[in-house]
Amino acid sequence: MDQTRHVVSIESPEPGIRMRSPLRFALRRLAQNRLAIVGAVLFAVMLIGAFGAPFLAPYNYDEPDFTSIWSAPSGTHLLGTDKVGRDIYSRILYGTRSSLIVGFLTLAFVLVIGVLLGALAGMIGGMVDYLIMRVVDIMASFPSLLFAILIMSMLGAGIEKVVIALVVPGWVSICQLTRAQILSLRERDYVLASQSFGANSFWVIRQHMVPNAAPPLLVNATLAIPSYIVAEAGLSYLGMGILPPTPSLGQLVLDASIYIIPHPSYIFFAATALALLILAIAFVGDGLREALDPHALT
């Protein structure tokens, strides 16, 4: 009996000792990543400034002041004004909001389409898998930006059309990643055990597939947002993106590049805002990648 009590005392955790979950361990690793924290703080500040622009911007994004054309940064205009006296600081806030809307809307549609098709291909297999992957191969053979330019040339400019142009080629990588995750997970012992006990496919997907496939998809999705913002900036720079007078960061860079010689501060402020937004999201995404690394969660 003494031996039995001794074995039980060893196998049972002592009072006050908590088992660390993988999520808690990942959050602690993320909190220790200084670049990720800096990126998260910077992104939060830019997010608040962008979506709080109607309250934080001192002027409307299209409000001209013909008495202050090309004014230098001052207390009245923090970053100066442009060719028609519009406040650059206000236009950067509203432009950041437009770029973020494009980035997040594109990501939402890409995730829905890519995860759904990738899960169907991985779980069902057979002819369904073959047809979906052939479509993926065809779509992947075209450069994404050129494909987006082709779509924009047919649809015309506009924020909703930019989202469509980015979603059409953008779901491919998410679909490939989801399919690869499903194919890997469906052969795991705990999945086979659940199926042997009579669990249906929807229960297996909800309880096993989604929680285990979510971390790499989350990292991929976070790192994809900067590419969507850059693509929108590129389309707007080519004059095929968001229609004026609604500003976007790419449109501001295009407008500022015309006057780069006499007024270099304009393009400096616009390009810096675009670079900071991309770096902030990239730092957070890289931090998530390291924090959710399965080899580190031990």
CATH number at residue 246: 1.10.3720.10
Q: Give the Å distances, CA to CA, from 289 to 26, 124, 285.
A: 10, 29, 6
Task: Decide if 27 is inside a domain.
Answer: no
Total count of domains within the chain:
1
The reported pLDDT for the residue numbered 188 is 79
Task: Decide if 275 is inside a domain.
Answer: yes
Task: Decide if 14 is inside a domain.
Answer: no
The reported pLDDT for the residue numbered 20 is 54
Q: Give the Å distances, CA to CA, from 50 to 44, 80, 105, 108, 273.
A: 10, 18, 15, 19, 11
CB 33 within 8 Å of CB 288? no
Domain that residue 217 falls in: 46-291
Residue type, 270: A
Provide the residue-wise pLDDT of the chain in tens; the chain has 298 residues. 444 444 444 444 444 444 456 667 777 887 888 888 999 999 999 999 999 999 999 999 998 888 888 999 988 899 999 989 999 999 999 999 999 999 999 999 999 999 889 888 888 888 989 999 999 998 888 888 888 888 988 888 888 999 999 999 999 999 999 898 888 887 777 777 877 777 776 777 777 777 777 788 888 888 888 889 888 888 888 878 888 888 888 889 888 888 888 889 999 999 999 999 999 998 998 888 887 765 554 4
CB 249 within 8 Å of CB 269? no
Region of residue 85 (phi > 0: left; psi between -120 and 50: alpha; otherwise: beta)? left
Task: Decide if 136 is inside a domain.
Answer: yes
The reported pLDDT for the residue numbered 12 is 44
The reported pLDDT for the residue numbered 16 is 47
Compute the C-alpha angle 28/288/194, nearest 5°: 90
Task: Decide if 196 is inside a domain.
Answer: yes
The reported pLDDT for the residue numbered 22 is 64
The reported pLDDT for the residue numbered 295 is 54
State pTM to two decimals.
0.83
DSSP state, residue 64: -
Cis peptide before 143 (omega within 30 of 0): no
